[in-house]
Amino acid sequence: DYEVTYSYTDASGNQVSAKATITVVSSKANINGHDSTIDQGDSWTPQNNFDGGTDAEGNVIDFREIAVEGTVDSNVPGKYKVTYSYTDQEGNVFQKTVTITVLAKHSNPTNPTNPTNPTNPTNPTDSTQTVISGNSGTRLPRTGEREGIEASLWGGLIVAISTLLGILGIDRKRKQN
């Protein structure tokens, strides 16, 4: 509450004053709406997402007093914004924007059909196979690997020495015991 004093002085110097108490009441005006999701091809009207509203005194607003901005094409998938507006007696504007999502319609798969016989069938031709026989006499590419008897001899020598050392080691153990 606010206390206000009004004063007036006339040309003769007479003064009059009065006090008044001012009570500020907040507006009860509001608009309510909700977001929604619909399927492609469903019907939609602006009333579908409008939940209601009240004027400054809290009285219910009829939908005919609401201005609607934006449209929804329910045949085209996407997100659409719709704004509901109400202007009260004092010129104050109240708005609510909602989003309507249109989902693409899923088509049902078609059942497969039985295959048909071809109208002009053709017989398969005999396939020809190329057979490679014998030794072509080409050399293999050099990869850095050693080939031939030399590598085998070295491997055999290493195995023989290892075996000999193993036998000598076992014999020495027997003599110590």
In a domain, 5, yes or no: no
According to DSSP, residue 16 is labeled E
Domain count, the chain: 1
The pTM of this model reads 0.50
In a domain, 43, yes or no: yes
Asked whether 102 and 72 are in contact (CB, 8 A), the reply is yes
**Residue of 174 and 34 predicted with greater confidence:** 34
Name the strand (E) or helix (H) holding 131: none
The CATH number of the domain holding residue 62 is: 2.60.40.10
111-131 average pLDDT score: 76
**pLDDT tens digits, 61-92:** 999 999 999 999 999 999 999 999 999 888 88
Q: What is the pLDDT of residue 79?
A: 98
Token pair 């196979």 in the structure block, residue: 129
Q: What is the pLDDT of residue 82?
A: 98
Domain holding 95, by residue range, is 30-103
User: Which among 8, 25, 36, 13 has a CA at the least distance from the CA of 101?
Assistant: 36
Q: What is the pLDDT of residue 143?
A: 67
26 pLDDT more than 90: no
